[in-house]
Amino acid sequence: MVNSRAIDESRRDGVGRAAPRLRYAHRAHTRSRSWVHGYLVRLAWSDAFVVAIAITIAQVVRFGTDSATTPNGAIQAPAALVSLLLGIAWVLTLRAFHTLDRRVVGSGSQEYSRVVTACLSVFGVLAMLDLLFRLNIARGFLALALPIGTIGLLVSRRAWRRRLGRQRAMAKNLEHVLVVGEPRSAVPLMERLMRQPDLGYHVVGICLPAYAGPRETVAVLGRDVPAFGTFGDVCRSVTECGATTVAVTSAEALGHDAMQSLSWDLEGLDVDMLVSPGVTDVAGPRMMLRPVAGLPLLHIDKPRYEGANRFRKAIVDRIGSMLILLLIAPVLVAVAIAIKVDSRGPVFYRSTRVGINNAPFEMWKFRSMVQDADSLKDKLRTLNEGSGVLFKMRDDPRVTRVGAVIRRYSIDELPQLFNVLGGTMSLVGPRPPLPDEVERYDGRVARRMLVKPGMTGLWQVSGRSDLSWEESVRLDLSYVENWSIMQDALILWKTVRAVVAKDGAY
């Protein structure tokens, strides 16, 4: 029989000292985290409702309003029974693909990616079963249910996420984070979390290697984060600050034994433990934890720019740009006429930009400035409001009347669809740089040139011209390192919102 007293005594030193006493104390006053359970339950019911609605619509459209007993398939099963079985299989598949994993819901693209994968999987398996066993289920029924249900689930998840974001903006449904680490590693993490409150993490304190007293604080983005103790006081600090999550940024400073003891103690306190691996802007699909000789090692895959990924992106770019051009053709004609009537000069402006692998190309735009705008640029250098190597002015005297309107709504950039159709640009990617900008790039920034520049990107949906040069570079590099089709879809959706809201456009 295990001696529980001996185990308790062995865990009273280091970060785990007095763990049993603190565990019971914390249970008495720990913050309720029922919002997580409630949110996931509501999400689950929402998924089931959307699936039911999608299948019902497909059944009514395909078989009619009085279709409950209509035979479907080779076995002549009632349509209502086929619909019921499909609905159950669909919901179970969503659960099997962990679409309710609390680690992915509420932020990032992985939640949407899992939903889409689950939907495609259930219908893929159904198609194979139909072929193998010759079930002959009505294809029109399935062809309607899949897109309606998939789109409905994505829209529903987006609506729940926006609701959660509004609640978090009012300081509700937050994870209260106690950061454990040295200032040089802890401050960058706290800055990221504070800049993005929609992620749901509220920093409530920090534990430092050395503790000067109860009045010690760490300044982060103009806010003083209180220090609660040293690395040996984590459990007590959790109790004092009411933390629901502990984020360790200096695992090497704590040591292997202390990290293990801390993880054991936090289990009893019902507190999540996060460990920062020391790498930034690397997406989850590129990371895998591999146990080697009892040590968890983080394996980071190389970014994949070639092969099937590039082929899929090229297909989406060509087909997408063609469809958009067909839809907005009347708008393009109207803008061209307005530009010609408003001022002298050509309708289009062609600028030399640098594309993938530093290859130059001519980028098309609607002309929004006077005809000799480039020659006037040097005279305005002293009024530059851009950061880094960018040239930007809020009230640029070179902009025409029509130009001010089309720039405000980013209409001047629509001709770049011809570049996308021609293969020199992508719908989503890093900002297309000028040659003189590229000449001043260092090795880190030059990684932006590993993929095609895009009409829109993370920089476009995160502030556009209001971003600092460093933040623009970080967003571009993050995109280059982690791009995926699902991320592109999210950026395109957010671009529409950013353009309508005119965020950072001038």
Cβ-based neighbour number of residue 269 at 10 Å: 23
Where is 153: in which H helix or E strand? helix 139-169
Residues 6+ apart with CB under 8 A from 204: 176, 177, 178, 226, 241, 242, 243
| Residues, the chain | 506
Please state, in angstroms and rounded to a whole number, the distance separating the CA atoms of residues 335 and 493. 24
- Residue identified by tokens 């509700």 is 172
Would you give per-residue pLDDT tens digits along the chain (506 residues)?
A: 334 333 333 333 444 444 443 443 344 334 445 688 889 999 999 999 999 999 999 888 887 776 666 665 556 677 788 889 889 999 999 999 999 998 888 887 789 989 999 999 998 888 888 777 776 777 778 888 999 999 999 999 999 999 998 888 888 888 899 999 999 989 999 998 998 888 889 999 999 998 888 889 999 988 999 999 999 899 999 989 989 999 999 887 888 788 888 888 888 788 889 988 876 666 556 667 777 766 677 777 666 666 667 788 889 999 999 999 999 999 999 999 999 999 888 999 998 999 988 899 999 999 998 887 766 666 666 566 555 555 566 667 788 999 989 988 889 999 999 999 999 999 999 888 888 888 878 777 777 888 899 999 887 777 655 667 777 777 888 888 777 777 888 888 888 877 766 555 54
CATH class of segment(s) 4-30+174-278: alpha beta
DSSP state of 372: T
Start-end of CATH 3.40.50.720 domains in the chain: 4-30+174-278
Asked if residues 199 and 189 have their Cβ atoms less than 8 Å apart, the reply is: no
Where is 479: in which H helix or E strand? helix 469-482
DSSP state of 369: B
Q: Retrieve residue 506's tokens.
A: 């001038």
Q: Retrieve residue 336's tokens.
A: 């061209």
Asked if residues 300 and 287 have their Cβ atoms less than 8 Å apart, the reply is: yes
At residue 76, the pLDDT reads 67
Please state, in angstroms and rounded to a whole number, the distance separating the CA atoms of residues 311 and 462. 27
Asked if residues 263 and 250 have their Cβ atoms less than 8 Å apart, the reply is: no
Please state, in angstroms and rounded to a whole number, the distance separating the CA atoms of residues 422 and 407. 23
Please state, in angstroms and rounded to a whole number, the distance separating the CA atoms of residues 82 and 140. 14
Burial 275-298 (b: 16+ CB within 10 A, else e): bbeeeeebbeebeeeeeeeeeeee
Please state, in angstroms and rounded to a whole number, the distance separating the CA atoms of residues 281 and 477. 8
Burial 153-173 (b: 16+ CB within 10 A, else e): bbebbeebbeebbeebeeeeb
The single-letter code of the amino acid at 498 is A
At residue 374, the pLDDT reads 67
- Nearest Cα neighbor of 223 from 247, 200, 190 is 190
Asked if residues 205 and 227 have their Cβ atoms less than 8 Å apart, the reply is: yes
Q: What is the DSSP string of 458-475?
A: TTTTTTGGGS-HHHHHHH
Please state, in angstroms and rounded to a whole number, the distance separating the CA atoms of residues 301 and 304. 8
Asked if residues 37 and 173 have their Cβ atoms less than 8 Å apart, the reply is: no
Q: Retrieve residue 407's tokens.
A: 């720039």
At residue 327, the pLDDT reads 94
At residue 205, the pLDDT reads 94
